[in-house]
Amino acid sequence: MKKRKLGNELEVSALGLGCMGLSFGYGPATEKDKAIKLIREAFEQGITFFDSAEAYGPFKNEKLLGEAVAPFRKEVVIATKFGFKEGEPAKGLDSHPERIRKVAEASLKRLNTDVIDLFYQHRVDPDIPIEDVAGTVKDLIKEGKVKYFGLSEAGAQTIRKAHAVQPVNALQSEYSLWWREPEKEIIPTLEELGIGLVPFSPLGKGFLTGKINDKTEFAENDFRNIVPRFNEENRKANQALVDLLGEIAHGMEATPAQVAIAWLLAQKPWIVPIPGTTKSHRLTENIGGAAIELSYTELEKIEAALARIDVQGARYPEQLQQLVGN
């Protein structure tokens, strides 16, 4: 698999693996042995960038990832995150410097590593100046506990303030064919500052695969049950986007998921999507998307078709939307 750079120095595979869904967010956690097997299969197929967080589980995902990559730890990049009280999103935000330090120490142990390659602030904490957050991570970098600094779902002004204190290597935010908001202000800011973009949910939380429709029922503890974009009415309305993607994919002898990933990779050379999956065949399918290079004509065709589609429904319920773009 080809490599890409986040910031000026951090080299990773063009596609990463989002590990959250193995432990949290999309129904029951994957059985440990199967999850470890999937992570190792990803590495064998060229993925060297793995994304976790203390909040996933909480804590379980980091332990899982640490165990899975132990045989080849020095050959991969591990990203994890701080930013919630006691590691639990439901308890609110907490990016006090002492909390960041505590998370770093605990994450190092759970990941069974001596350094965190990329340490993200999971969500911007309005009660703590971003300069203090960046300064704390800067100290952790000096101490050799962290290599690089990242932000997640931060707004342009926050990115600039943080970057002035400690260079930000990556911003992790949602970006896909059905969520293009970052194109307005975020992507130009990242390009100006030389910061990489790590899109999560590059397949629209599964919707762009074409395997979800208005009749699909999610597990009781699946996060999509509370996402407005995934209510039955909006899924029905948004089927037009999936149908379009299917038509384009058919003409290219690819799958809708592969086209969605290829489209993201074609936007900028410093974009590294991190699709998550719990299934081996989906992993292979996603990796296949990274091998597709869309021509200018194909990109123009996609752009023209998308212009005729108005995606329905908010991407987050209101209480979660308040945590992004600050």
Q: What is the DSSP letter of 160?
A: H
Query: What residues are paired with 50 via a beta bridge?
Result: 17, 78
Q: Is 196 left (phi over 0), alpha (psi -120 to 50) or beta?
A: beta
Which residues are catalytically annotated? Answer: 56
Q: How far apart are CA 322 and CA 88, in angstroms?
A: 17
Let me know the angle formed at the C-alpha of 216 by 215 and 220, rounded to the nearest 5 degrees.
130
Q: How far apart are CA 94 and CA 88, in angstroms?
A: 10
Q: What Cα–Cα distance (Å) separates residue 169 from each residue in 38, 115, 163, 266, 307?
A: 27, 16, 9, 20, 32
Whether 208 and 257 have beta carbons less than 8 Å apart is answered as yes
Q: Which helix (H) or strand (E) holds 265?
A: helix 256-267
Q: Which amino acid is at 50?
A: F
Q: Which helix (H) or strand (E) holds 300?
A: helix 296-306
Range list of β-strands (E), the chain: 3-6, 10-13, 17-18, 49-51, 77-82, 116-121, 146-152, 168-174, 196-200
| Reduced 3-state DSSP string for 97-146 | HHHHHHHHHHHHHHCCCCCEEEEEECCCCCCCCHHHHHHHHHHHHHCCCE
Q: Which single residue is written with the structure tokens 């989002």?
A: 18
> How is the chain split among helix, strand and coil, in percent rounded to 5?
45, 15, 35
